[in-house]
């Protein structure tokens, strides 16, 4: 049987994404107060091993996937590319075939999305996108879970993105298409997201606006999101930082959003660059709920890959 890969949000689709969020809410509530490494009562993935391949740095993705698979009854192995044969030139295809004989699922964090699709092409077990330069779908499952937890329904939600048009924004746009919310992008010229992601969201009926005016982007928003101005592997240029400066999320910008708007950031943050300390530490910020929710979202993604989400079990 063909494995069920999670390379991007549209691999799952809107119904499965909604099911992932619901299952995450239920599982999170059911284990309140338990030690973080203790398995859920039903141990749905008992004995399953997740191999995690990192060609880029990670704190949240690495730890949350490890804790997620433990809570589902399984375990994980971390492979840092620098200390594996992949880092010495062994092919992605051979790595995929070997890991498929030794593990039950593979998570990959890499630069080039072509490496991820190559891994999926040759793997006989589910492959999960743990971030590429193009997208970061696991992050957005956690973000949507956080927004729903805050009492905000997704259809019709107004999400403002400020700053660099990067991999995280691409996955937000993909989610907008699936969950029918709107995205207002405030980005300097030259740093907009790939037009294909905007087209995808618009084709699904989402309103996507693009402006170089930060105040216009956040006006009336339910959620304000930003990310680092310089992603992993990108060149750090003074010109880019100067172009991004007007898009720093500060209290004046947050005041233009709805009074009960929430601030999200996938982290790691560069406080004083893309966001001020007052906003990052302020009452509208839910960034540490968002970080914790990586665990709960990851569990739903793993369960979906194995056909074990509640809705899939029938
Ligand atoms: N947000 C996120 O993916 O964090 P890490 O880079 O620490 O995994
Ligand atoms: N856009 C960031 C996200 C980090 C989780 C990066 O790619 O570095």
Domains and CATH numbers, the chain: 9-136+294-307 (3.40.50.1370), 151-285 (3.40.50.1370)
Residue segments in the chain with a per-residue pLDDT below the cut of 50: 314
**Predicted pLDDT of residue 313:** 58
pLDDT of residue 88: 93
pLDDT at 310: 83
Given the residues 62, 136, 184, 262, the one annotated as active site: 136
In the sheet with 208-211, reading across from the earlier edge strand, the strands are: 208-211, 182-186, 158-162, 223-226, 262-265
- pLDDT at position 224 is 99
Residue owning the nearest CA to atom 4 of ligand 1: 60
Query: pTM surpassing 0.95?
Result: yes
Residue 103 and residue 122: Cα distance in Å, rounded?
A: 14
Residues 6+ apart with CB under 8 A from 53: 79, 81, 84, 86, 95, 99, 106, 107, 108, 109, 110, 119
Q: Which two tokens stand for residue 110?
A: 């890499």
pLDDT for res 82: 86
Nearest CA to ligand 1 atom 3: 61
Active site residue 139: yes
Determine which residue's CA is closest to atom 7 belonging to ligand 1.
59
Q: How many helices (H) and strands (E) does the chain have?
A: 14, 9
pLDDT value for 294: 98
Q: For residue 236, what pLDDT is reported?
A: 75
Instruction: Report the alpha-carbon distance of residue 133 to residue 135 in Å, rounded.
Output: 6
Alpha helices in 72-112 (DSSP H): 92-102
Reference 27, options 264, 291, 262, 308; nearest CA is 308
Q: What is the pLDDT of residue 170?
A: 98
Point out the catalytic residue in the list 27, 104, 266, 305: 266
């Amino acid at each position: 049987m063909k494995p069920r890969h999670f390379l991007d949000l549209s691999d799952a689709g809107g119904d499965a994404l909604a099911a992932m969020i619901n299952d995450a809410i239920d599982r999170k509530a059911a284990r309140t107060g338990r030690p973080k490494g203790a398995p859920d009562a039903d141990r749905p993935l008992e004995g399953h091993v997740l191999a995690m391949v990192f060609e880029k740095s990670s704190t949240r993705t690495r730890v949350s996937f490890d804790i997620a698979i433990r809570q589902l009854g399984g375990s994980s192995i971390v492979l840092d590319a620098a200390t594996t044969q992949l880092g010495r030139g062994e092919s992605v295809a051979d790595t995929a075939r070997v890991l498929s004989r030794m593990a039950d699922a593979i998570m990959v964090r890499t630069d080039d999305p072509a490496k991820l699709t190559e891994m999926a092409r040759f793997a006989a077990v589910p492959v999960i996108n743990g971030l590429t330069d193009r997208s970061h779908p696991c992050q957005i499952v956690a973000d949507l879970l956080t927004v729903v937890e805050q009492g905000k329904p997704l259809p019709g939600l107004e999400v403002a993105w400020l700053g660099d048009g990067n991999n995280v924004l691409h996955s937000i746009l993909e989610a907008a298409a699936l969950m029918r919310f709107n995205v207002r992008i405030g980005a300097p010229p030259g740093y907009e997201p790939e037009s294909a992601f905007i087209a995808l969201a618009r084709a699904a009926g989402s309103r996507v606006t693009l402006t170089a005016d930060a105040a216009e982007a956040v006006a009336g928003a339910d959620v304000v999101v930003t990310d680092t101005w310089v992603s992993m592997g990108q060149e750090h240029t003074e010109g880019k930082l100067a172009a991004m400066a007007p898009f720093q999320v500060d209290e004046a910008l947050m005041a233009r959003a709805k009074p009960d708007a929430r601030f999200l950031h996938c982290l790691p943050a560069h406080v004083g660059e893309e966001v001020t300390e007052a906003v990052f530490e302020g009452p509208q910020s839910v960034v540490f709920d968002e970080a914790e929710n990586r665990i709960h979202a990851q569990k739903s993604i793993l369960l979906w890959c194995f056909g074990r989400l509640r809705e899939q079990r029938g």
